[in-house]
Amino acid sequence: MAKPSLSPSKITTYLACPTKYYWTYIDPRGRYYLKSKHYYSFGTTLHRVLQQFHDEQDRGVTTVADAVRAVDENWVAAGYTSAEHMAEAAGEGREIISKYVQATLEKPREGRVLYLERQIQTDLGPFRLIGRVDRVDELPDGTWDIIDYKSGRSTVTSDEISTDIAMSCYQLILRRRFPERSVRATIVAIRTGEAASYALTDEEIGQFEQDLLTLGEEILNAEWDGHEPSAKTLCAACDFLPLCRKSPEFSESLAAI
């Protein structure tokens, strides 16, 4: 029997709402209620272009013009409400990529790319922790920099990265696999080019691992028989709202929010 796995997406979904976790990962009926999201499609498009741009083996995107053309070639159309909505987003995507590539080409390269869109994992005992990194660079001092692109935000701070579950998971995985390496995490807000970094200390990484083990066992040992959804402010925009409304108690509590 395969060992269970957890990812940052699974963990953050459970923390946000156990019922959403249930419909997303446990009960297959949930898949029929999932809807495409335009912001996921937008982010996927930009990530594909950036992967091509930073891949030294891919010579198809080396200039601003190449990158702008690649936005159209890699465009994911799912989830947009209208042709006008999609056209506006496409124009915004071209502008964002154009500015990012121009700024990157104008500054000296700080390190060399090690990984692009790579799945990484480590065995934590009760479960495997897996994640997918956008990019990992090796800096001149030997530090490995885990780079995560954010297409939906304009600012970022090191304090935000220090408590970001996904970035902490990625640091934990790489530090366990390559203990001889210094590792840090960087988020790049590609709309503005603003970036911030944070490296967890040994004490912080140890505490995070222990907290993650405790939470992971809670998730994996959760008892779903007879589970009742509880109303939250995020319910209004949730794909699974029709399923949760089947519970009379849920509908009453939702009305009170």
Cα–Cα distance, 161 to 147 (Å, whole number): 11
Q: Output phi, psi for 84, to 5 deg.
A: -65, -40
Per-residue pLDDT, 56: 84
Buried b (16+ CB within 10 A) or exposed e, 19-30: bbbbbbbeeeeb
Classify residue 255 as exposed, middle or buried by CB count within 10 Å of its CB (0-12, 13-18, 19+). Answer: exposed
Tens place of pLDDT for every residue, the chain, 257 residues? 789 999 999 999 999 999 999 999 999 999 999 999 999 999 999 999 999 999 988 778 999 999 999 999 999 999 999 999 999 999 999 999 999 999 999 988 888 999 999 999 999 999 999 999 999 999 999 999 999 999 999 999 999 999 999 999 999 999 999 999 999 999 999 999 999 999 999 999 999 999 999 999 999 999 999 889 999 999 989 999 999 998 888 877 777 77
Nearest by Cα to 222 from 88, 26, 66, 1? 26
Per-residue pLDDT, 255: 73
Architecture of domain 112-218: 3-Layer(aba) Sandwich (3.40)
Q: Tell me the whole-structure pTM to 2 decimals.
A: 0.94
Q: What are the start-end ranges of the E strands in 65-163?
A: 112-123, 128-138, 144-150
Per-residue pLDDT, 257: 74
What's the one-letter identity of residue 204?
A: E
Count of CA atoms in the C-beta half-sphere (13 A) of 225: 0
CB 111 within 8 A of CB 151: no
Q: Where are the domains of the chain?
A: 5-34+225-255, 38-106, 112-218
